[in-house]
Amino acid sequence: MDIKVLGVLVVTEGGTPVTPVAAEPRQVLALLAMLAGRVVPSGLLVEDLWPDRPPHQAKAMLQSYVGELRELIAAALRGRERTGSARSRCDRRAADILADMPGGYQLRGDEVTSDAWEFERAAGAGYRALAVGDLVTAARRLREALGLWRGEPFADLTPGPHLTAQIDRLRQSRDRAFGQWVEAELRLGRHRELAADLPGVQVPCRVRDQLPAALERCADQGEALAAYQRLVQPSASSRVLVTARIPRPGPRPPVRFVPDPYDRPAAVARYGTAAGRGRTVPLGRP
């Protein structure tokens, strides 16, 4: 079974999709896929499906979703065997893959591949290489890890609390790998290559604001700014930051500091004191 969670959920068995269309069984499969090889308690699945108020027949409904997943797995197994096997045999094998366990269910980890596991292995190799100073290997393995991402994890689902926790963990791992990759590239002196390669990387929003400081080391500031602007929908704060740190070609007008007495909360949040509040505007403008 091949599991992909670093983007839209995709699960296949022998090349045949086994991802259900309905939202509820998809969510069950998502949690089972994230925790493949471990027993997932039925109560945890119920809490994720109905975090506010589970219906009276919650366990029966959960069993029906698991049955739907097994039917999809059985159909994929029949197609894989190409022998017209009896339905009972396929059901038995499907139940071996998605097994009933005391208190819950388990998606067996035998013969399972997961892009999340591949990401962790590649990123871990990159961290170890960076720790011993092997910058080339670190940059290559971390770039491989980041290349596995196809978008936001489980972007096609409305997650419950437990799946949300798994999504946050994946995002934190991605952010760490991205920061370490940027560090390795900069320590190798690949400022120009970094600026050219960034548009092809799924850039985490949480670390996007660190890019201007890295890109300003490029000799060609116009190229660095163009590379940053090619990123997908940078935030407003990032646009302000990159404009300040990577100047556009040509002379810049002088600026002066204009106190803003109505901006106390924002000033306190930004500077930690009301004394520094204000805004910078070009001279000659109101």
Give per-residue pLDDT as tens, 255-278.
Answer: 444 444 444 444 444 444 444 444
Write down the pLDDT at residue 201.
Answer: 52
Q: Where in the chain is the domain with CATH 1.10.10.10?
A: 2-113
The reported pLDDT for the residue numbered 213 is 56
Using alpha carbons, select from 174, 121, 122, 123 the residue that is nearest to residue 151. 174
* pLDDT value of residue 252: 46
Q: Is the pLDDT of residue 149 over 90?
A: yes
pLDDT of residue 197: 64
Least confident of 13-17, 37-41, 82-86: 82-86
**Nearest to 278, CA basis, from 63, 149, 286, 270:** 270
- Whether the per-residue pLDDT at 212 is higher than 70: the answer is no
pTM: 0.67
Asked if residue 62 has pLDDT above 60, the reply is yes
Q: What is the pLDDT of residue 227?
A: 52
- With a pLDDT cut of 90, the percent of the chain lying above it is 43
CATH code: domain 2-113 is 1.10.10.10
Mean pLDDT of 194-213: 56
- pLDDT per residue over 216-264, tens digit each? 555 455 555 555 555 444 444 333 333 333 334 445 445 444 444 444 4
Q: What pLDDT sits at residue 112?
A: 84
Whether 29 shows a pLDDT value over 90: the answer reads yes
At residue 11, φ and ψ (nearest 5 deg) are -125, 130
